[in-house]
A and B are shown apart, each in its own frame.
Chain A
Amino acid sequence: MHAPGVSFGSLPRIDYPYRFFVTATFFVIVLAIFILLSGETPWSNRWQPAMLFITHGFTLGFITTIMMGALLQIIPVVGGIALPQINVVATTSHVFHLLGTSLLMKNFVWPDEYSRVLSVVFLVLGLGIYIVTVFGLLLIKLKQGATLAGIRNALLLLSFTIVIGCLIQFSNAGADLLLANKSYTNLHALLGGMGWMGLLILAVSFQIIPMFHVAPIFPMGITRYLPKILFSLLIALLLIVAFFNEFSSSLMILLGDSLLLLNCLYVIVLLKTLDKRKRKIADTTVMYWQLAAFSMILLTCLTFVVQFYLKNKAIEPALNNFHNLLLQKQDLLQAAIFFYFFIISVLQGMLLKILPFLSYTHLQQLCLTNFKAMEHIPHMHEFLSKQHGLYLFFLHCCTGLSLLATILIPSLYWLFGVLLLVEFSLLLAIMIKVIGLYKISLRKIKALKGNNIEYCLTE
């Protein structure tokens, strides 16, 4: 894929993505407190209401919120054109998404009909407004590169995820919409996880890895075919569940295994691309990408070990308990590795790059006709120090390991809760520092230019 230069002329106001980033972080802080107060109960299986609260807090509250904010910047930059009515879209989708996610999470542990209905309405409105706007722009106005095509397909899979989620909610309320089995729940998780999140990360990485890490562009075979194959496999899964309503057939397992292997192929190419970067200086974001890549490989190995070895082979009696524990907790372990070690690692690494970069770029844009004003722009490391980035990375690793330990030994929930709280409090502090420094620099530049500013954080 030819990676063209990027266009900054249609950059949206900096507070639009930042409001998504900050509220996403707050969601996890609330989650951490919930985990500390909930005890061991959520960790017995994935169907526990408290575990549903936790998983949706991560997937909708943090991951999707971050991705929505990031796309507001990425699409104009890669496509070179502004999203229409960005103020209305950013504000309404943010507010409805916030309300919908909060009510959904609340409804899992304190159910009532009003919050069930309102959560569906708000989530559909919030995500719907966002998807329709962005998807519409991607269909009509922009020439298609691999990144934009991948983003479009990821949004389509998000739409299916939302529809299935709504149908599950209505089924739980007694409506005769879906058969009462876990086929649709598994499909909902796969379309949301591997589809919306995984495909989006893959597509965006085709731009940001070469751009931010001075690395070569990805091989054309990968950028041209891999996103389409992944998308096709997920659509095939959707059709099989919709028409055969059977999730445990060999075909379903084959498709699921294929998705994992293809993602492994992607992360191996990603690691090789990063290895060829020109300046091999220590970079925490690169460490996050490497952690995510190795986690995907570990996830694939774990899945195949359980599938082809543990389930079929006789195990020594001494190991029997651990064997049974792995089988029993397989779903939670897979979800933890995928969402925490793969997806959230990538997002945190990207935030460490995007937060100072966006702040710096927005300020720099104001100085291009007045070079003297540039001396008021802090250096990138003043926005976000390497040391803080490293602290966050190591905390993230510790929190992730404590998550895996808690799944196997639920009495360790307090350790996971504490580490999660510390990690995301640090992330929030980093964001607040970046925003604060941006505001101070903006004031100085404004003073030089006499308040004739196109971009500002607040008015």
Chain B
Amino acid sequence: MEQITLNVSSLAPPEPMTEIVLALSNLKNLQYLKVIHRRQPFPLFERLSAGGWGYVCKELSPQCFTIYIYQLSDQERFLALLDSELNRV
């Protein structure tokens, strides 16, 4: 799977959401999004599953979060990849 990285940590609302949504609309098959954010984007989380997306959110510090967003159809493949990536780190 291919990772597309998006850093929205220096953007003020509502730009982070807009950028994430646009990035998701451009994702191709077997791609997933890694978002670097300074807050947890709850409004996004609440809507992702309705749109066929899954997500994993990791807090690195009080103002730094990494959010992985993937197609639900790729869930098994993605979670295995994420496990190995996190174990490597």
Chain A residues packing against B (C-beta within 8 Å): 2-9, 80, 210-214, 216-217, 278-279, 357, 360-361, 364-365, 367-369, 371-372, 374, 380
Once bound together, how far apart are the Cα atoms of A320 and B19, in whole Å? 63
Beta-carbon contact of A3 and B63 below 8 Å: yes
B interface with A by C-beta (< 8 Å): 10-14, 17-18, 21-22, 24-25, 38-44, 46-48, 50-51, 62-63, 65
B53 to chain A: closest CB distance in Å? 10
A212-B12, A212-B13, A365-B47 are contacts. A2–B42 as well, Cβ < 8 Å?
A: no
B39-A368 in contact (CB<8A): no
- Determine the distance from Cα of A210 to Cα of B62 in the docked complex, in whole angstroms: 12
A267: min CB distance to chain B, Å? 22
> Cα distance A7–B47 when bound, in Å?
12
How distant is the Cα of A357 from the Cα of B46 in the complex, in angstroms?
A: 19
The 3 closest A-B pairs by CB, nearest first: A5-B40, A8-B43, A368-B47
Tell whether, in the assembled complex, residue A368 and residue B21 are in contact, meaning their CB atoms are under 8 Å apart.
yes
How far is A278 from B51 in the complex, measured between Cα atoms in Å? 32
Chain A-chain B contacts (Cβ-Cβ < 8 Å), number: 75
Q: Which residues of A contact B25 (CB under 8 A)?
A: 371-372
A2 and B62 contact, CB distance less than 8 A: yes
Task: Specify which of B14, B38, B41, B47 is in contact with A357 (CB 8 Å cutoff).
Answer: B14
- When distances are taken between beta carbons in the complex, the residues of chain B under 8 Å from A380 are 14
Docked Cα-Cα span, A80 to B46, in Å, equals 12
Contact call A371/B47, Cβ cutoff below 8 A = no
Instruction: Name the contact of A216 in the complex, choosing from B13, B14, B63 (C-beta under 8 A).
Output: B63
Complex Cα spacing A211 to B21, Å = 19
CB<8 Å pairs between A and B, sample of 23: A3-B63, A8-B42, A9-B42, A80-B42, A211-B12, A211-B13, A212-B12, A213-B12, A214-B12, A279-B10, A357-B14, A360-B14, A361-B13, A364-B18, A364-B43, A368-B43, A368-B44, A368-B47, A369-B51, A371-B21, A371-B22, A371-B25, A372-B25
A4–B18 touching, CB < 8 Å: no
Contact A9 B43 (CB under 8 A): yes
- Smallest Cβ distance from A351 to chain B, in angstroms? 16
If the complex has contacts A217-B62, A368-B47, are A6 and B39 also in contact, measured as CB distance less than 8 A? Answer: yes
Complex CA distance for A3 and B21, rounded to whole angstroms: 23
Docked Cα-Cα span, A400 to B50, in Å, equals: 50
Report chain B residues within 8 Å CB of A213: 12
